[in-house]
Amino acid sequence: MKKSLRITHCALRIAVIGGGPAGMIAAIRAAEGGAQVTLFEKMPRVGRKLGITGKGRCNLTNTADNAEIIKNLPGNGKFLFSALKNFSSADTVNFFENLGVKTKIERGGRIFPVSDDASEVIDALLRKMIVLGVEIKNNSPVTDIIAEHKKIRGVLVGGKIFDCDAVILATGGASYPATGSTGDGFRLAKRIGHTVTEILPALVPLEVEEDIKSLQGLSLKNVRVKLLADGKKIAEQFGEMLFTHFGVSGPIILTLSRQAAKFLSEGKFVELEINLKPALTPEQLDARILRDFDKFKRRAIKNSLVELLPAKLIPIILDRAFIEPNKKVDEITQAERRRLVENLRGLLLTITQTRPIAEAIVTAGGVSVKEINPQTMQSKLVEGLFIAGEVADVDGFTGGFNLQAAWAMGNTAGTFAAK
């Protein structure tokens, strides 16, 4: 009698390193694909950084289409073309709605959970992982990835080898280290042969040389800020900024900070030029000043700009324009007025450095995307190694784009790791 050949399919064993957004969605997708998944998280619980996103409200994603999302990921957005095709922002919304997290849209297309509570997002991911049988090992930092003949063999945890067929590296960046994102993944990836591009802070406040401590707490709306490197305009943003005890912050400064960090690291002279009155031409601004002078004829100039400028800014601007603050308005010369207009339209601040990477919202740089297959997130160097999230050299602006990148990469990595 002929013996029939029975083929038994053993579930693939997959280790996910890191329980952030990229790691958790990857674990879910891999488990849905039939793999036996173990997630190693070095902190006592998963999703610490996710819990503080969007000031605790979690800006999950953005209504932008994929082309717009790519534009908002200045750190290798194009690399995510396939990942976003597989998992767009609409897919993120559906994914979370299916997990019971209702979402809402706010200004700028930003999507948040209706509950305004990031912990709802973490709990939903956690519940799904548990339902799918993902084994979650908290307090378990992975200290090495083990490969033999350029093929994954396992990971080293607590001095012991955990054997597996595939590894998903999703350890995040190096910012906000108290959340667990301490840059371990960069070291792990380097040790296994990957190139890690220069790590720099992005979405980070900037320190200035000038003494502007008196401006601390002042927030400016509708200003235009140019970033200059060695006197050349690099970028420009319009919107809101904030003065702090060390320098400047706020939405448009964070957006410009990525390039500021890059040029500072290259030893360039970096400045910000703030146009406090971008809606007015120099002539219109001069006419406006003359109207105020006429209105406050008998006053010292320092008391005549109160309707034009926030009080804290007046002494700074007068100092920059070399105008004696107690000089009477009717004694101000045409040349002084010209200098006033120039400084109102171009208040220059010298950037000395960014705040440390620990204070950056994201990390620019990471595992080189040239060494990752964009269709699958699999390493081109080690078979069975997948890389997802901020550990890769991918980063974006505020607005939900960094989390969308993490969901999209995690989705692809988890799906293909289980194949």
Ligand X SMILES: Cc1cc2nc3c(=O)[nH]c(=O)nc-3n(C[C@H](O)[C@H](O)[C@H](O)COP(=O)(O)OP(=O)(O)OC[C@H]3O[C@@H](n4cnc5c(N)ncnc54)[C@H](O)[C@@H]3O)c2cc1C
Q: Three-class SS of residue 285?
A: helix
- The token duo for 110 is 């930003």
Give the nearest distance from C-beta 404 to ligand X in angstroms. 6
Q: Which of 153, 135, 388 is nearest to 379 (CA)?
A: 388
- Pick between residue 112 and residue 263 the one whose CB is nearest to ligand X: 112
Give the nearest distance from C-beta 207 to ligand X in angstroms. 19
Contacting positions for ligand X (CB under 6 A): 17-23, 40-43, 48-50, 52-54, 58-59, 141-142, 170-172, 175-176, 180-181, 184, 361-362, 389-390, 400-403, 406
Q: Angle at CA 216, nearest 5°, toward 108 and 268? A: 75
CB 169 within 8 A of CB 42: no
- Pick between residue 162 and residue 293 the one whose CB is nearest to ligand X: 162
How far apart CA 36 and CA 15 sit, in angstroms, is 9
- Pick between residue 21 and residue 323 the one whose CB is nearest to ligand X: 21
Give the nearest distance from C-beta 100 to ligand X in angstroms. 20
**What residues contact 54, with CB distance under 8 A and at least 6 apart?**
110, 112, 118
- Pick between residue 23 and residue 323 the one whose CB is nearest to ligand X: 23
| Helices (runs of H) and strands (runs of E) counted in the chain | 12, 19
- Pick between residue 155 and residue 347 the one whose CB is nearest to ligand X: 155
How far apart CA 387 and CA 342 sit, in angstroms, is 50
Give the nearest distance from C-beta 364 to ligand X in angstroms. 11
Q: Which of 267, 205, 269, 255 is nearest to 395 (CA)?
A: 255
- Pick between residue 313 and residue 377 the one whose CB is nearest to ligand X: 377
Give the nearest distance from C-beta 113 to ligand X in angstroms. 11
Give the nearest distance from C-beta 109 to ligand X in angstroms. 12
Relative to beta strand 160-163, strand 151-157 is: antiparallel
**Residue 104 per-residue DSSP state:** E
CB 263 within 8 A of CB 271: no
Q: Which of 38, 32, 41 is nearest to 13 (CA)?
A: 38
Give the nearest distance from C-beta 54 to ligand X in angstroms. 3
Phi-psi region of 327 (alpha: psi -120 to 50; beta: other; left: phi over 0): beta
Give the nearest distance from C-beta 387 to ligand X in angstroms. 10
How far apart CA 20 and CA 402 sit, in angstroms, is 12
- Pick between residue 343 and residue 411 the one whose CB is nearest to ligand X: 411
- Pick between residue 42 and residue 345 the one whose CB is nearest to ligand X: 42
**What residues contact 4, with CB distance under 8 A and at least 6 apart?**
none
